[in-house]
Every structure is written in C-alpha cells, then in structure tokens.
C-alpha cells in the first residue's frame, strides 16, 4: 500500500514537470494537470501530502 501511495506522489511530480508537453501530446492530454483539472499548486501539494503519508506509514 505504501508503495502505491509513493508511486502516486511520483506520478504527480512527473505530471508537474511535464505538464506543457502533456498538453501538446494527444494521448497524454487527459492527465489531470495537463488537462487543467487540477492546478500546478494543487498537484504539488497533493504530491507532497502523498509522499509524507507514505513516509509516515513506513
């Protein structure tokens, strides 16, 4: 379970760093940050929260 939480945090970080490229890529546009469903700030906070939760559970 902890691995899944940490993997989700890493996924959000990846979306954060690649959001401009994801917006231009047809198959990656539906990703939450690339599509604009969540803001960059929300994605950063969610990633941090998931990383902390995975660290607390370890």
**Distance between the two ends of the chain, CA-based, in angstroms?**
10
pLDDT tens figures, 35-54: 777 888 888 888 889 889 88
Q: How confident is the model at residue 29 (pLDDT cuts 50, 70, 90)?
A: low
Task: State the pLDDT at residue 21.
Answer: 80
Tens-place pLDDT, residues 13-23: 887 787 778 77
Entry pTM: 0.66
Query: Which of 30, 8, 9 is closest to 19 using CA atoms?
Result: 30
The residues spanned by each domain of the chain are 14-57
d(CA 5, CA 48): 11
Choose between 9 and 35: higher pLDDT: 9
């Amino acid at each position: 379970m902890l691995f899944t939480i940490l993997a989700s945090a890493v996924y959000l970080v990846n979306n954060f760093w690649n959001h401009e490229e994801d917006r231009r890529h047809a198959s990656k546009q539906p990703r939450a940050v690339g599509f604009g469903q969540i803001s960059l700030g929300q994605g950063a906070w969610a990633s941090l929260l998931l990383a902390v939760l995975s660290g607390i559970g370890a």
